[in-house]
Structure 1
Amino acid sequence: MSTAAWVANEAVEWSADARFAIYYAPSRASAWWRAGSEWLAGDAETGVAYTPPQPEALSRPLNELTHAPRRYGWHGTLVAPFRLADGVGAGHVLAESRRWAQTQQPFALQLEAATLGDFVALRPASAAGDLAIRELAANALRTLHPLRAAPTAQDLARRLAAPLTERQRALLVEWGYPYVFDEFRFHMTLSSSLDAADERAALVAWWQKRIPELGPLRVDGAALFVEPAPGAPFVLWQRLPFQTAGVEQQ
């Protein structure tokens, strides 16, 4: 069984193994979208390749440090990738996602670069911003959860074998993912897992200088991403604009 959809105005066939995700992605016209796409060497919406910048403090090419996030495209997760429930098609997901997006209000988010474990990411710079984006993600998850296929016994066993807290295990069983609601931490990943502390520090320093030039991140929409087949790069299929309104700073 396959899922028919439209990408770049052309009909495509996605297998039943395709996964969908609701991500935050900066608007196409924003400097933030170009900066992140260049960093990851490609635009997940158009497929255009870029030559990434090269922070002077690095001793090896940036491409070698960004392999993992490059597959997912420039984004921050709101609803983690999921397969569709029986009887649910790509068009249904798109329609429900668009309806959800039109109930949301834009806001602006201040960001900072930080080391999260052994990788580098952008994250909200204030408690108010962290709460605003967490509430957005929770609202999206509650709305779209009925479209998600229940995890297979194999997937569930694999995830439950990871070092999770009891709260995270309960969330995984109920919602299909352990890092939701109070366990959710919004971030935009900038690197693969890096053992070298000096490399992590170099990436943080580069972005801390770049953030003031880019300004606050305008959260005025989300995006529906698709992994067409297991292990394939994610593509930005459709953008999901929020209501047109003033932007509140967080």
Structure 2
Amino acid sequence: MSSATKVVNEALEWSAEARFAVYYAPSRDSAWWRAGSEWLGGDVESGVPYTPPQPPTLVRAVSELTKAPRRYGWHGTLVAPFRLADGVTPLAVLDDARGWAQQQAPFNLPVEAATLGDFVALRPAASEGEAAMRELAASALRTLGGLRAKPSSADLARRLAAPLTERQRTLLIEWGYPYVFDEFRFHMTLSSSLEAADERAALVAWWHDRIAGLGPLVVDSAALFVEPAPGEPFVLWQRLPFQTGGVAQQ
């Protein structure tokens, strides 16, 4: 079976309720992809399961602390999951996403582990990196925003019931998600919500040491992820390589 036929067949298998997302995911051959996939217990591109490492300072198993992010796979959101507008096909999304990616230039992104609210995540280590990821996400959203279905009344009501600022409410209504453009904060989630501050601190400390060995993230591609049907685990469907050339520093 050719790769093109495989792409078409996969798209035909998905539910009409499938959701699509543009995520940053480290290159499949990188140490960062292996490290994050191991941490979350599996590679969402190949389907290979992993046994997560176990920091000695943790009482609970890592698999218990990562249930929420595990369903989404190792990623950082650029365009949040969306359903397709009437008449839009998965292949149309793929074509537009590839065209967008080919206009992007690679760069390095130094990161740090931090507590964000009650969960732990990687985030850009400097304001320049934060700005670069915000610009990248905004560009992707503007390119693909016209392909998404408007949120249902129920979805919109559920999200509007959350504690949002007036700006976030406006963005939600216009773009289907409140944390876009100036409200966007790039991160790669490492844990579920954790009540215990000592667990969060232990994860931050462990990842601090890991980051020292892994170095910066190389942002040289994005990826289309798919939730095939509501509640199912996300899969990495297609990689979206950026234009070739040198990698700029951030």
Same fold by TM-score, threshold 0.5 exceeded? Answer: yes
Aligned to 1:179: 179
Aligned to 2:158: 158
Whether the 8 Å contact between 2:105 and 2:244 is mirrored in structure 1 is: yes
Aligned to 1:16: 16
Distance in 2 between residues matched to 1:25 and 1:101, nearest whole Å: 13
When residues 168 and 10 of structure 1 are mapped into structure 2, their CA distance, relative to the original with a 3 A threshold, is closer
Distance in 2 between residues matched to 1:157 and 1:180, nearest whole Å: 18
Which runs of 4 or more aligned residues in structure 1 lie more than 3 Å from their structure 2 counterparts after TM superposition? 5-12
Distance in 2 between residues matched to 1:87 and 1:37, nearest whole Å: 34
When residues 186 and 11 of structure 1 are mapped into structure 2, their CA distance, relative to the original with a 3 A threshold, is closer
Distance in 2 between residues matched to 1:179 and 1:228, nearest whole Å: 24
Distance in 2 between residues matched to 1:8 and 1:94, nearest whole Å: 11
When residues 9 and 245 of structure 1 are mapped into structure 2, their CA distance, relative to the original with a 3 A threshold, is farther
In structure 2, list runs of 5 or more residues that go unmatched: none
Distance in 1 between residues matched to 2:198 and 2:108, nearest whole Å: 31
Aligned to 1:243: 243
Distance in 2 between residues matched to 1:102 and 1:247, nearest whole Å: 14
When residues 53 and 144 of structure 1 are mapped into structure 2, their CA distance, relative to the original with a 3 A threshold, is same
TM-score, with normalisation over the residues of structure 2?
Answer: 0.96
Distance in 1 between residues matched to 2:10 and 2:120, nearest whole Å: 36
Compare the two structures and name the one with the higher strand fraction: 1
TM-score, with normalisation over the residues of structure 1?
Answer: 0.96
Q: Secondary structure at the match of 2:199?
A: helix
Cα shift at 1:177 = 0.2
Compare the two structures and name the one with the higher helix fraction: 2
Aligned to 2:33: 33
When residues 56 and 8 of structure 1 are mapped into structure 2, their CA distance, relative to the original with a 3 A threshold, is farther
Higher deviation after alignment, 148-157 or 5-14? 5-14
Aligned residues: 246
2:132 matches 1:136: no
Letter in 2 for 1:188: M
Whether the 8 Å contact between 1:114 and 1:121 is mirrored in structure 2 is: yes
Q: Tell me the C-alpha RMSD between the 2 structures.
A: 1.3
2:80 matches 1:80: yes
Cα shift at 1:245 = 1.1
Whether the 8 Å contact between 2:8 and 2:91 is mirrored in structure 1 is: no
Aligned to 2:110: 110
Question: Structure 1 vs Structure 2: percent identity of aligned residues?
Answer: 77
